[in-house]
Amino acid sequence: MALYVDPLMPCEPTPQWRYRKSCHLFADTDEELHEFARRHGIWKCNFHENTPIGNYYLLNWSSRWWAVFNGAKALNAKQTVRKRRQIWPHLAARPKVTEATNR
């Protein structure tokens, strides 16, 4: 089972998400992802499907720590992009934003 968490990033709290930092738990397959979440009590409402960055569970800092403690691999930002493009090849086909395309 291969599970990954990306770095904690700042986010705006909402009525549904009260935390100021969050990260994403993702896996090589959705089956692995859901099985891990079910075994470790991660709420289904934290699952996000068909997003521009793939399918994932949103985690706060303590859930991230718990996921890593239970076998998820902590990735840095560069490793996260590489791994997501490997799991979801259609993400690699997205055009890169450059200074020329921003004008």
- Predicted confidence (pLDDT) per residue in 37-72, tens digit: 999 999 999 999 999 888 999 999 999 999 999 999
Residue 30 CA, chain-centre distance (Å), reads 12
Domain ranges of the chain: 3-92
Distances (CA, A) of 86 to 55, 56, 75, 89: 13, 15, 14, 6
In this structure, are residues 58 and 46 in contact, taking their beta carbons and an 8 Å threshold? Answer: yes
Residue 95 has pLDDT above 60, yes or no: no
Instruction: Name the H helices within the chain.
Output: 30-39, 61-69, 77-87, 89-92
Q: What is the pLDDT of residue 89?
A: 85
